[in-house]
Structures are given as C-alpha cells and as structure tokens.
C-alpha cells in the first residue's frame, strides 16, 4: 500500500450547522495577510485636547487676574477721586451759596466776588421753604449756564446733612453736593460736578482694557508655546505608541527598537516617556523570549518529525510485507494489519506536514519557476472529481493561460488541500466552484467556494491556525490533522500572497491572491 500524498486540508467545519453560514459572515482575513487595520480616532472638538485645555485655562486665569486688578484699580481710583472731590468741596465751602442768600451785594454776598477761585461748574443755590430762590453755576465764559426747571426741583428737595451726597441734575449731570443751613434758616447748596471723576474713571477703564487685553494675548501665546513645548514628550510617546501598534507582534521574529526620546527625566512628561521606554524594553524582552521558545519548539518538531520518518517507514513496510503473506491468517489478523497500515499512513502524512511547516517557518526558499496555474487547476480539479464523484465541480477559467513564478509542487499542494477540504466538509450533492483570474494590478486571484454549511463563526478567525478542528467525529474518521489550512497559509505567505477566508450567504469562500502574472509577457 502507498500513502496518499495529498493532505486533506482540514477546514475545521462541523456538519449540520447551517446557521453558521450567516453568523460567521464577517470577515476572516488570515492573520498572515497583514496587521489588523487601526481604527483612526475621530477628531474631537476644539477644546478637548490637553494642550488646548491648558492654554485656555491659562488664558482664563490671566483674564480673571486682569479683571480682578481692573476692578480693584477702578474701586481705588473712584474712591481716591471722590475723596479728592469731597476735599475740594470742603475747601469751596458755601461761599458761593451764601452770596446768593441776600441781594444787598455787600462784601459777604457779592456774586461777582464770591465766584473768584471757584472751579468752573461749581453750583450754588439757596432754598427757602422748599423753593429755590437763587441758583447759579460758575461758567468759564461770559455766557451764563442755565439751570433747568427739573434741576431746580431736585435742588429744592435737598435737605441738610452731615455728609456729601451725589445727585443727578437734569441738564447739568451728576454733582457732589454739600447742603448746609444758612443764617436765615434757609438751605444753602454747594456742588461740584462729577464729570471729571467719571471721565478719569472711563479713561482708566479703557486703558486697562487695552493693556490687559494685550497682556492676556501675549501671555496666552507665550503660555501656549510653553505648554506645547512641555507636552512635546507626550506627543513623542503617542507617536511611538502608534508605530508600535502597527508592528506585526503576533507572530514571527519581532525587533522592537522603537523608543521615546527623553530630554528631561525630572519633568512629569519626561517621567512618562521614561516609563514607556521601560515598558517597551520589557515587551521586547518578552517577545524575544517567546521567539526563542517558538524556535526551540519548531526545532524539536522538525527533529522529531525527521526522526520518526524512518521507524514509521520500517513499521509500514513490515506491515505491508506481512499482509502480502497473510492469505492463511485469520480475518482478525488481516484486519489488524490493515489498521496498522492505515494508522502508519496517517502518521506519515502528519510527519510530512509538520516537516513542511517547519521548513516554511525556518524560511527555506521555495523553488521559483514559471507555473501554468490554468493547467495546475485543471489537473487538481480533475483529481478532485475522481475522489468526490458525488459533488458537482465547476470551473471558471480565462480563455488565455495564466502563469506566474512560484513553487509548482507547493502550489499544487495548496489546491489539493483546498479542494479536499471542500469535498470533506460539504454534504454529497454540493457544488464546489473554482475560478482563476488576473487582477488589475497584475496579480492572480484563485477562488474556491462551495454552497455547504460554511465555517462555524467561533472558528472563523483562527481557522487557518495549526491543529484547528471543528471537533466532529467525521473529521477524525477522515484522517484530518488540522494542518491543511495552516499549510495553505504558510505556502501562500512564502509566495508573498494573501489568504482570505470568509463565509458567504451560502457556504464558504477561500480567496488566494498571488504574485504578478506572467501571462502575455
């Protein structure tokens, strides 16, 4: 007896699970086809970044401090000017108002002499029995200032007091007034305008707004630059983390040389960068140790597989020899010999598969020559028709032959494994379609699809890993080793191709994209 050179390419399916055809429909690019795409974070609103928040907070604090200074300055200035106005009012006394008390124009009440030394705008008024009997305002020109009736009514309503008070006189503005009792029991009113105080306060406020605005803008810009400079180590940490996340760390030999440049380890940001570098160093050591462990395991598997080939061949040859001379043996003995032959055959295929995977892992170069993929697919599908006459085999090939550079023996094994997988894991009467086409970018795509139950959703992400099975008794009965798709993935990766395994609406679909086609060259 001779062993079957083709591996079944177990696809880890379970029978009677039609629901898996829909539930597992979301993707499965093999892990070897490239790193998982990183989801780009959406741009957040303007105030969410730490740099902007710190800059805005700094500007807000500066504006708050400027506002506090402006309020304090305004209050102090207003208090000072009001106090000075009260002092001027006290110095002015009621001389001008007394001059309006009588009309004899003697030395004590002559209006012309009473206004000497009085500031322009000084108000003097005499109120008797609630009526203004005389009122005047010092003018800086020969034109007298007219006091309106509304202002007279306000003055008439004033009463004597111990402190100055502020009144609004229509047509004249706000006044700080001193109200005293005259010699005749009348009310004498002397006032100074608050316009100079209000104008000075307005000038101070405008100056503060301009100066503080400029200061806030300048400090905000300088502070923003300072914050940005302080957070630059965090930006380097982010950039380094993104570069590390794009590295293929899941398998194979990994060289993790990415580090964050640290300018000042005494700062908080520098300490974060140093901690990240320490973490990356620990990860690198762990990955190196994992790689060394995997290498030791692969070497052990390769050595063990190589050492097992000779004793397996001896056992099988002796079993075949005994079977040739077993005509006189009881049926039970012949049945045991057949079981030995079958078991050693399966063990031999497993050893061959392990050796092949070990060679692929070690990077042993494949044979590189021109391969007619059209002819290869015709041959392998023809063999599959003979092995699975209860299936319907459909071919979709281009009119012109499609050729590429690769290892013909390994590519032949890829097709045998995929077709055997479809045959074993679909019920009789199922349709298996094989298509070949040249893509626009010059590469070649081979698609093997069926209308069977598909791949169970939990197994879909890891279906191309080693020793993955659906766990059904049928798989073990057919001699499945769980290495078929792992071998396919390894051969495709060694050719620089891509393997995609998906569940369609009905059945499973395996897509292989290989290097540039040589057709037409």
CATH of the domain at 413: 3.30.565.10
**What is the rounded distance in angstroms from the CA atom of residue 451 to the CA atom of residue 429?**
10
Rg (CA), the chain: 50
Inside any domain, residue 275:
no
pLDDT averaged over every residue in the chain: 77
pLDDT above 90: percentage of residues in the chain:
12
Q: How many residues does the chain have?
A: 521
What's the rounded Cα separation, in Å, for the pair 14 and 475? 8
- Per DSSP bridges, beta strands 498-503 and 403-406 are unpaired
- Specify if 259 maps to a domain: no
124 and 26 fall within a common domain: no
CB 504 within 8 A of CB 25: yes
- What residues are paired with 190 via a beta bridge? 124, 178
Local confidence band at 515 (pLDDT 50, 70, 90 cut-offs): confident
Q: Which residue has the higher pLDDT, 322 or 6?
A: 322
- pLDDT tens profile 378-395: 999 999 999 899 999 999
Residue 9 makes CB contacts below 8 A (sequence gap 6+) with: 416, 417, 418, 419, 420, 421, 484, 485, 487, 488
Q: Are 187 and 178 in contact (CB under 8 A)?
A: no
User: What is the residue range of 153's domain?
Assistant: 93-193
The answer on 105 and 27 residing in a single domain is no
Cα–Cα distance measured from residue 152 to residue 143, given in angstroms and rounded to the nearest whole number: 19
Phi/psi of residue 463, nearest 5 degrees: -65, -25
Q: Are residues 494 and 405 in the same domain?
A: yes
Residues 374 and 444 in one domain: yes
Nearest-angstrom CA–CA distance, 438 and 446 = 9
pLDDT at residue 475 is higher than 60: no
Domain limit, last residue, from 152, 175, 193: 193
In this prediction, residues 277-291 reach a mean pLDDT of 85
Report which secondary-structure segment, H or E, holds 499. strand 498-503
Q: Average pLDDT for residues 52-64, to the nearest whole number?
A: 84
Does residue 484 contact residue 9 with C-beta atoms inside 8 Å?
yes
With beta carbons less than 8 A apart as the criterion, state whether 406 and 438 touch: no
Least confident of 69-73, 294-298, 432-436: 294-298
User: Which alpha helices (H) appear in 93-160, and where do they start and end?
Assistant: 95-99, 111-114, 149-156
- Whole-angstrom distance, CA of residue 446 vs CA of residue 416: 13
**342 domain residue, yes or no:** no
* Helix axes of 331-361 and 484-494: crossing angle, nearest 10 degrees: 30
Question: What span, in angstroms and rounded, lies between the C-alpha atoms of 239 and 228?
Answer: 15
The predicted pLDDT at position 389 comes to 92
Q: Are residues 466 and 380 in the same domain?
A: yes
> Are residue 28 and residue 120 in the same domain, yes or no?
no
- Mean pLDDT is highest, among 179-193, 302-316, 463-477, for 179-193
- CB contact set of 20 (below 8 Å; sequence gap of 6+): 14, 453, 454, 455, 456, 457, 503
Strand partners, 131: 128
Is 510 in a helix, a strand, or coil?
strand
The whole-angstrom distance between residue 351's C-alpha and the CA centroid of its chain comes to 46
Q: Quote the crossing angle between the two packed helices 408-424 and 484-494, to the nearest 10°.
A: 150
Instruction: Give yes or no: residues 130 and 31 share one domain.
Output: no
Lowest-confidence range among 107-111, 187-191, 201-205, 242-246? 107-111
User: Hey, is 365 helix, strand or coil?
Assistant: coil
Give residue 111's pLDDT: 52
307-317: average pLDDT: 78
Where residue 274 falls among pLDDT bands split at 50, 70, 90? confident
- Count CA within 13 A, CB hemisphere, residue 402: 23
By CB atoms closer than 10 A (0-12, 13-18, 19+), residue 32 is buried
Q: How confident is the model at residue 95 (pLDDT cuts 50, 70, 90)?
A: low
* Mean pLDDT value across residues 74-102: 77
Highest mean pLDDT among 3-17, 39-53, 428-442, 456-470: 428-442
Q: Identify the residue whose tokens are 């399916």.
A: 13
- Which of 143, 171, 193 is at the close of a domain? 193
Other CB atoms within a 10 A radius of the CB of residue 237 amount to 20
Q: Both 486 and 406 in a single domain?
A: yes
Q: What are the backbone angles phi and psi of residue 189, rounded to the nearest 5°?
A: -120, 125
170 and 30 within one domain: no
Residue 380 lies in a domain: yes
Q: How many domains does the chain have?
A: 2
Same structural domain, 429 and 497? yes
139 falls within a domain? yes
Whether 404 is covered by a domain: the verdict is: yes
Which range is least confidently modeled, 116-120, 161-165, 240-244, 395-399?
A: 116-120
| Domain end point (choices 163, 193, 223) | 193
- Assess contact for 511 and 499: CB atoms under 8 A: yes
Same structural domain for residues 392 and 492? yes
Question: Whose CA is closest to 353, among 2, 13, 10?
Answer: 10
Residue 258 is classified by DSSP as -
For residue 276 the two structure tokens come to 């990240």
Question: Is pLDDT above 90 for 456?
Answer: no
DSSP β-bridge partners for residue 503? 508
Tell me how far apart the alpha carbons of residues 516 and 443 are, in angstroms, rounded to a whole number: 4
Model-level pTM greater than 0.85? no
Is residue 30 very low, low, confident or very high in pLDDT (cuts 50, 70, 90)?
very low
3-state SS class at 214: helix
Rounded average pLDDT over 284-309: 76
- Buried b / exposed e over 388-399, threshold 16 CB at 10 Å, is beebebeeebee
Q: What is the mean pLDDT of residues 99-125?
A: 62
If phi > 0 it is left, if psi is from -120 to 50 it is alpha, else beta; for residue 454 that is left
Nearest to 498 by CA among 446, 456, 458, 453: 446
Q: Are residues 387 and 503 in the same domain?
A: yes
Alpha carbons 57 and 117: distance in angstroms, whole number: 55
Q: What is the mean pLDDT of residues 294-316?
A: 74
């Amino acid at each position: 007896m001779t062993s079957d050179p083709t591996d079944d390419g177990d696809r880890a399916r379970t029978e009677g699970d039609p629901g898996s055809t829909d539930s597992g429909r979301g993707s499965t690019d093999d892990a070897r086809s490239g790193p998982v795409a990183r989801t780009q974070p959406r741009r957040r609103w303007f105030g969410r970044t730490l740099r902007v928040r710190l800059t805005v907070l700094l500007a807000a604090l500066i504006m708050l401090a400027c506002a506090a200074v402006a309020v304090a300055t305004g209050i102090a200035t207003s208090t000072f000017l009001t106090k000075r106005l009260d002092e001027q009012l006290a110095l002015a006394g009621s001389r001008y108002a007394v001059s309006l008390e009588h009309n004899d124009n003697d030395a004590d009440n002559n209006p012309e002499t009473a206004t000497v030394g009085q500031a322009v705008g000084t108000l003097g008024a005499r109120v008797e029995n609630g009526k203004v009997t005389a009122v005047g305002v010092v003018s800086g020109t020969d034109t007298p200032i007219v006091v309106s009736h509304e202002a007279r009514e306000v003055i008439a309503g004033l009463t004597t007091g111990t402190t100055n008070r502020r009144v609004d006189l229509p047509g004249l503005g706000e006044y700080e007034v001193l109200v005293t009792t005259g010699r005749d029991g009348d009310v004498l009113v002397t006032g100074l305008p608050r316009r100079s105080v209000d104008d000075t306060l307005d000038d101070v406020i405008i100056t503060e707004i301009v100066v503080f605005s400029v200061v806030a803008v300048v400090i905000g810009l300088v502070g923003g630059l300072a914050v940005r400079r302080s957070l630059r180590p965090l930006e380097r940490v982010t950039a380094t983390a993104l570069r590390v996340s794009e590295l293929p760390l899941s398998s194979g030999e990994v060289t993790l040389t990415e580090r964050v440049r640290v300018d000042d380890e005494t700062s908080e940001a520098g300490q974060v960068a140093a901690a990240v570098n320490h973490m990356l160093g620990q990860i690198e050591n762990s990955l190196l140790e994992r790689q060394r462990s995997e290498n030791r395991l692969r070497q052990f598997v390769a050595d063990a597989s190589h050492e097992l080939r000779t004793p397996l061949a001896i056992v099988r040859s002796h079993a075949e020899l005994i079977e040739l001379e077993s005509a006189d043996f009881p049926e039970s003995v012949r049945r045991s010999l057949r079981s030995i032959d079958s078991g050693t055959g399966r063990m031999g295929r497993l050893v061959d598969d392990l050796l092949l995977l070990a060679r692929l892992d070690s990077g042993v170069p494949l044979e590189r020559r021109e391969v007619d993929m059209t002819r290869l697919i015709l041959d392998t599908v023809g063999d599959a028709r003979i092995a699975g006459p209860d299936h319907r085999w459909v071919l979709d090939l281009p009119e012109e032959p499609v050729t590429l550079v690769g290892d013909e023996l390994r590519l032949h094994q890829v097709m045998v494994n995929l077709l055997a997988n479809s045959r074993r894991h679909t019920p009789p009467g199922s349709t298996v379609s094989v298509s070949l086409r040249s893509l626009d970018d010059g590469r070649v795509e081979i698609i093997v699809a069926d209308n069977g139950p598909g791949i169970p959703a939990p197994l879909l992400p890891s279906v191309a890993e080693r020793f993955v099975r659906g766990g059904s008794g049928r798989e073990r009965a057919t001699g499945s080793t769980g290495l078929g798709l792992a071998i396919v993935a390894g051969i495709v990766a060694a050719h620089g191709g891509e393997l995609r395994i998906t569940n369609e609406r009905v059945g499973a679909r395996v897509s292989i994209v290989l290097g540039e086609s040589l057709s037409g060259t």
